[in-house]
Structure 1
């Protein structure tokens, strides 16, 4: 532990914000890992249960989605299912609005990581420049002891470069975490779209179109006109 503190001390004051950026990056990585682990582990089962239930009972499907409201996929599927007899356009609009809200939450931490990626190398470069200024300022060009001064200058330059290396390491770590999160977000957008489309088709096929047909047939009985049939029916 003493060696680590000595290493950080050699970098000078600029190592403090670099160290802070590394702590924030690691904390963000752990928080996002917990979030995605919970989501990916359960979402497949939730989607399957909701879609299967939606073919028989929308209230049961809504109850299953409500029990999974702690996850984005649960809130996404619940948004249209909690509506009372919506039109297909309203059904889709509710899903799209819920999806937009969930995607914003999925991007939590992205701005922090982007900032660390941009700022950490600059902080490292700043520490190197200030370290070099202090090193060259302490040299006595006109005096004796050139060998000792050269050794001291080399040591000072080496210490000054510590901040550059530290800044680059933190930036690379933040960039790797950021790219993984972006990839997961892209996959989730496709998955949400597929699940939403399938749920909308189930609603249209099993609930909305039969309800419209029943209403039209009831009107036909009153007006003595031939009853209508669903597009897939045959005589």
Structure 2
């Protein structure tokens, strides 16, 4: 703990916003990790239960989906199942609207991480510049120099290096978290499309009873 405090002091004022960005990065990462852990650990079982039940009992499948409203996939499946005898087009439209809404929610934190990835290296660069300015201000060209002056010069160089490294570390961590979220989001888009197609196919084949057209009723 003392070592971290010393680094913050040596890095200068730029270390304070970098510390704030690192806290935001870690908080966002933990929040998204918990969200994706809950979703990925439960959605496969839920989808199997809903699709398996939908073949024989659509109302029971709806109840299963309704009981999983805390999960995006549960809300996605419940949206079309709660409708009363919809046409396949309405069934699919409700599913697509719910899917788009849930996939947008899954992008939570991406803008924040993108900002941190862009800003953290710039703050590190700012610390580098201020550190070098401090170094040159304490550097006496052609003079003998004292131990105190040499210490000030070394401190300025240390500030420049510390802030540069801190900015890069924060940006790298934020970028890794961001890329992981983007990858998981892309996989969920494909999964939602696959599950939605299977549910729509079950509804069309098993449950949809089209109204008789005038020509067919006359025949």
Q: Same fold (TM over 0.5)?
A: yes
Residue aligning to 2:9? 9
**Mapped partners of 1:203, 1:36: distance in 2:** 29
Residue aligning to 1:98? 98
> Matches of residues 1-235 of structure 1 in structure 2 within 5 Å?
1-145=1-145, 149=149, 152-208=152-208, 211-212=209-210, 215-216=211-212, 223=218, 225=219
**Mapped partners of 1:141, 1:189: distance in 2:** 62
**What value does the CA root-mean-square deviation take over the aligned residues?**
1.9
**Mapped partners of 1:142, 1:37: distance in 2:** 62
TM-score normalised by structure 2 residue count: 0.94
Alignment CA distance shift 1:217-1:155 (3 Å): closer
TM-score normalised by structure 1 residue count: 0.87
**Mapped partners of 1:216, 1:177: distance in 2:** 54
C-alpha deviation, 1:148, in angstroms = 6.6
What is the aligned residue count?
219
**Mapped partners of 2:71, 2:150: distance in 1:** 61
**Mapped partners of 1:217, 1:120: distance in 2:** 65
**Mapped partners of 1:142, 1:44: distance in 2:** 73
Alignment CA distance shift 1:219-1:207 (3 Å): farther
Alignment CA distance shift 1:38-1:121 (3 Å): same
Deviating beyond 6 angstroms after TM superposition, the runs of 4 or more aligned structure 1 residues are: none
C-alpha deviation, 1:160, in angstroms = 1.8
**Mapped partners of 1:91, 1:217: distance in 2:** 21
Residue deviations 1:134-162 (CA, integer Å, cap 9, x gap): 22112233533278745642442123211
For structure 2, which runs of at least 5 residues remain unmatched after alignment? none
Contact 2:123 2:167 in 1 (8 A): yes
Instruction: Tell me the SS of whatever aligns to 1:216.
Output: coil
For structure 1, which runs of at least 5 residues remain unmatched after alignment? 226-235
C-alpha deviation, 1:59, in angstroms = 1.0
